[in-house]
């Protein structure tokens, strides 16, 4: 059964991540929010340090990657705290510092999580140490990943990819792009596979970088794939088109959605801690032993937001723990991502409201966190698509029956 306390062996990792957030991320957070599309060079040494921590430890990833379900098998009845949980705990602390800077760190992209989750040992050896972005969304395919139109046709020993990808996080800076494409559109979602494309592939053309509301330190790219050739070995997973083949591709989200939930939890905690400090300086005391309705309105509102934060945090830990213990966690991953994403938006905006003019000031981080929060409710599956997934699983409905 899950233990809701942070495992002792992970407390040093969480402490180190918090120190990074405090000493590195927070001081440059506003700088790179204003200097959109400028690469934070301060992160190069930090990324190398995290690589060393990961290589020299059996506790799992210290950054945003390191999740691999196949390595987490456990005996029946054994309670395992593995790389998914350790990664989530590290991500929470780092995003307490700055979520955009975490997404800008080399080799810590969601594409790295996808590769770590489903790549073969040969692929892990070939692409290890490289920064990978994830390219799923298209102009005609957003939350409905099954509607992807980018094609992949086998030509000898190579696949030829053609299509367009938008909103690719870290797409311009990454070494690799994990591209979702269909082998045969007539066979529906079963034919959708993911392919590893080198960033310098001549068939992968950068169209533009997006100007965004939040996470401005992270670049977001749009690409066109024109006769983009990749070797057969670049296909992740099973190349055969099977009736339930798409389920294998979608399993990637069971590992990455808890990571996005962790990002939201970190930003939420940052906003709550700053707001608590501001309320205390204004003479508003929060009494946990008294009913909320008997306290000042600001204190009652804070307690309500803090309760939502606690729920999001627990759901996130549960989803990661289930992955570590080889338990199906698709439902829990979607619940965690939905709750944490919505909570992050509601809480950061609520904190801005409680702090008044201070919350809106550009010299403070509350204003920035409220902008960063929105994307955490959107990418890796929107709030609406997460609730749809949850409803399907609870009601026992298929995607064709409930859409």
The helix (H) or strand (E) run that includes residue 323 is helix 297-324
* pLDDT the model gives residue 58: 53
Q: How far is CA 207 from CA 106, 173, 200, 229, 307, in A?
A: 22, 14, 14, 18, 43
Q: How far is CA 359 from CA 61, 356, 367, in A?
A: 34, 5, 6
Instruction: Name the token pair of 118.
Output: 């489903």
* pLDDT the model gives residue 70: 47
In the structure, what pLDDT confidence band is assigned to residue 296 with cuts at 50, 70 and 90?
very high
pLDDT of residue 196 exceeding 60: yes
More confident residue, 272 or 185: 272
> What 3-state class would DSSP assign to 359?
helix
Nearest residue to 270 via CA among 102, 39, 79:
102
Class of 132-236 per CATH?
A: mainly beta
Dist. CA 10–CA 250, nearest whole Å: 29
* 74-83, 165-174, 313-322: least confident range: 74-83
* pLDDT the model gives residue 249: 64
The helix (H) or strand (E) run that includes residue 151 is strand 151-155
Cβ atoms within 10 Å of 229's Cβ, excluding its own: 16
pLDDT above 90 coverage of the chain, percent = 69
Residue range(s) of every CATH 1.20.140.10 domain in the chain: 245-395
* pLDDT the model gives residue 165: 98
> What 3-state class would DSSP assign to 228?
strand
Residue range(s) of every CATH 2.40.110.10 domain in the chain: 132-236
Which residue in the list 36, 304, 380, 401 is annotated as catalytic?
380
The superfamily (CATH) of domain 245-395 is: Butyryl-CoA Dehydrogenase, subunit A, domain 3 (1.20.140.10)
In the structure, what pLDDT confidence band is assigned to residue 330 with cuts at 50, 70 and 90?
very high
Cβ atoms within 10 Å of 327's Cβ, excluding its own: 12
In the structure, what pLDDT confidence band is assigned to residue 100 with cuts at 50, 70 and 90?
very high
Cβ atoms of 374 and 268 within 8 Å: the answer is no
Active site residue 380: yes
Kindly report the backbone phi and psi dihedral angles of residue 110, in degrees, each rounded to the nearest multiple of 5, phi listed first. -65, -25
Cβ atoms of 297 and 304 within 8 Å: the answer is no
Cβ atoms of 173 and 130 within 8 Å: the answer is no
Instruction: Name the token pair of 192.
Output: 């959708």
Residue range(s) of every CATH 1.10.540.10 domain in the chain: 8-127
pLDDT of residue 394 exceeding 60: yes
* pLDDT the model gives residue 187: 87
pLDDT of 50-62, one tens digit each? 766 655 455 554 5
Average pLDDT on 196-205 reads 98
pLDDT of residue 145 exceeding 90: no
Dist. CA 222–CA 169, nearest whole Å: 9
Average pLDDT on 89-105 reads 95
Please state the length of the chain: 403
Instruction: Name the token pair of 227.
Output: 């006769």
* pLDDT the model gives residue 77: 61
The superfamily (CATH) of domain 8-127 is: Acyl-CoA dehydrogenase/oxidase, N-terminal domain (1.10.540.10)
* pLDDT the model gives residue 139: 94
């Amino acid at each position: 059964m899950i233990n809701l306390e942070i495992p002792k062996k992970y407390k040093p990792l969480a402490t180190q991540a918090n120190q990074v957030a405090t000493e590195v991320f927070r001081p440059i957070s506003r700088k790179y929010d204003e200097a959109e599309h400028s690469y934070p060079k301060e992160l190069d040494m930090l990324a190398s340090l995290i690589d060393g921590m990961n290589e020299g430890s059996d506790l799992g990833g210290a950054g945003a990657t390191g999740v691999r379900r196949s390595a987490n098998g456990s005996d029946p009845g054994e309670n395992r705290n593995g790389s998914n949980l350790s990664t989530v705990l590290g991500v929470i602390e780092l995003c307490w510092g700055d979520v955009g800077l975490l997404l800008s760190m080399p080799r810590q992209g969601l594409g790295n999580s996808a590769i770590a989750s489903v790549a073969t040992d040969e692929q892990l050896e070939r692409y290890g140490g490289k920064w990978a972005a994830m390219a799923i969304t298209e102009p005609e395919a957003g939350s409905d990943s099954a509607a992807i139109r980018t094609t992949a046709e086998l030509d000898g020993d190579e696949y030829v990819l053609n299509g367009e990808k938008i909103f690719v996080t870290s797409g311009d800076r990454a070494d690799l792009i994990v591209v979702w494409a269909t082998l045969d559109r007539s066979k529906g979602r079963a034919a959708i596979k993911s392919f590893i494309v080198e960033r310098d592939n001549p068939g992968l053309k950068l169209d533009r970088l997006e100007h965004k509301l939040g996470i401005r330190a992270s670049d977001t790219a749009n690409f066109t794939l024109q006769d983009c050739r990749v070797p057969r070995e670049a296909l992740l997973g099973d190349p055969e088109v099977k009736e339930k083949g798409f389920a294998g591709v979608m399993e990637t989200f069971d590992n990455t959605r808890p990571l996005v939930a962790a990002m939201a939890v970190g930003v939420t905690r940052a906003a709550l801690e700053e707001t608590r400090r501001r309320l205390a300086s204004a003479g508003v005391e929060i009494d946990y032993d008294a009913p909320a309705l008997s306290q000042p309105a600001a204190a009652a509102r804070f307690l309500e937001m803090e309760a939502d934060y606690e729920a999001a945090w627990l759901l996130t830990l549960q989803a990661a723990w289930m992955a570590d213990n080889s338990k199906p966690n698709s439902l829990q991953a979607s619940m965690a991502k939905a709750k944490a994403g919505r909570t992050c938006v509601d809480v950061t905006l609520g904190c801005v409201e409680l702090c008044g003019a201070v919350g809106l000031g550009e010299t403070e981080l509350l204003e920035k966190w409220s902008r960063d929060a929105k994307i955490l409710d959107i990418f890796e599956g929107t709030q609406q698509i997460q609730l749809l997934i949850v409803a399907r699983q609870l009601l026992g409905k298929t995607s064709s029956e409930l859409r």
